Structure 1
Amino acid sequence: MTDRPAATRRPTSILRSLAYRGFYLLPKSVKRRLVRLATPTYTLGAVILVFSPDESSILLLKQPPGFGWGLPAGLLDRGERPEETAVRELAEETGIVLDRSAVRAATPNAVVHTRGRWVDTVFVAHVAPEEVELFVDGAEVWEAQWWPVSALPPITVAAARLLAHYELGPYADYPLAARQD
């Protein structure tokens, strides 16, 4: 036993105390629904950074509305694992088909965009550019191209902020600017 003092109870209003008691008496499903209604929600996406084997090049996409190049990414389907989403989106947007085991979690693996209220889970894959043929549909993706990591084209703000977490792109030297999501 330690000689630490017991926690001091803060005064609470009777109404607040009754509200908590009533909440904890509710069925679990009702409590869960109330919490979901009262708390902020975030959209969950998956992004895949596709590098050449020596990491000198990265695959970028030009998508509508065309204000810069971005990364292969998409939203998780219900029940889908983030790495499955990353692999699925890469295949849909570029024609590159990878096995789930060919991707690894990036570090950091999740980037929270508080302004837009979404979370990107980020994965990395290595693909030899000369061994794949890129296919785009012309609607969701206009172009897909390999770019030298040291000479990126104009990229979207969202892609620039995400890449800064990995010390890449135009915000790499300005980490605070990149994290002002």
Structure 2
Amino acid sequence: MGYIQELRSKIGHDPVILVGAVALIHDETGAVLLQKRTYPRGSWGIPGGLMELGESAEETVVREFQEEAGILIGNLQLFQVYSGAQVPSIAKNGDLYYPVTIAYEAELLSAEWQIDPEESAGFEFRTKEKVPKRLLRNHGKILMDYFERLK
């Protein structure tokens, strides 16, 4: 049982604060790698996930890229930390949580894609003008801040 499942077995569905990490990777045109998620269906987000006990934020995002896409990332540089959501996020099982998201800039070190269909419907590089409308709640702010930095 993972950390989050163990925590939920003790506290039920009450809202909690969960820490996650994402990685912003752009190509030579300035397009950013986005993940089409399986949940919420049809939504998009920046690749990453929630931290497990004993993991650093950097280890979290590297693990998530390996699990979800089979790719290796590296050269992580802290971009920004996002917190303070006024409305909780809702997990697939209905659990409520307030995210603290640590965003990194990173590079692809290997690109032998092995997409996990449980979590991902695909990955695409998208420009600012072609960012999907159905983004995970706090990912829109992260992307807009990042595109501003790339100018």
- Is the 8 Å Cα contact of residues 57 and 149 (structure 1) preserved in structure 2? yes
Q: CA deviation at 1:104?
A: 0.7
Gaps of 5+ in 2: 1-14, 89-97
Q: CA deviation at 1:138?
A: 1.2
1:145 corresponding residue in structure 2:
124
CA RMSD of aligned residues (A): 2.4
Q: Which has the higher contact order (CA 8 A, sep 6+)?
A: 2
Q: CA deviation at 1:57?
A: 1.5
- Is the 8 Å Cα contact of residues 44 and 136 (structure 2) preserved in structure 1? no
- Structure ranking higher in strand proportion: 2
Shift of the 49–55 alpha-carbon distance from structure 1 to 2, 3 Å rule, reads: farther
| 4+ long deviations beyond 6 Å | none
The alignment's TM-score, normalised by the length of structure 2, stands at 0.69
Instruction: Report which of the two structures shows the higher radius of gyration computed on alpha carbons.
Output: 1
2:73 corresponding residue in structure 1:
98
Matched, 1:134 2:113: yes
Gaps of 5+ in 1: 1-39, 169-181
Aligned-partner Cα distance in 2 for 1:47–1:55: 20
- Is the 8 Å Cα contact of residues 67 and 156 (structure 1) preserved in structure 2? no
- Is the 8 Å Cα contact of residues 72 and 108 (structure 2) preserved in structure 1? no
1:61 corresponding residue in structure 2:
35
* Number of equivalent positions: 122
The alignment's TM-score, normalised by the length of structure 1, stands at 0.58
Identity fraction in percent: 28
- Is the 8 Å Cα contact of residues 73 and 107 (structure 2) preserved in structure 1? no
- Map 1:164-179; keep pairs closer than 5 Å: 164-167=144-147
Q: CA deviation at 1:151?
A: 2.3
One-letter amino acid matched to 1:90: F
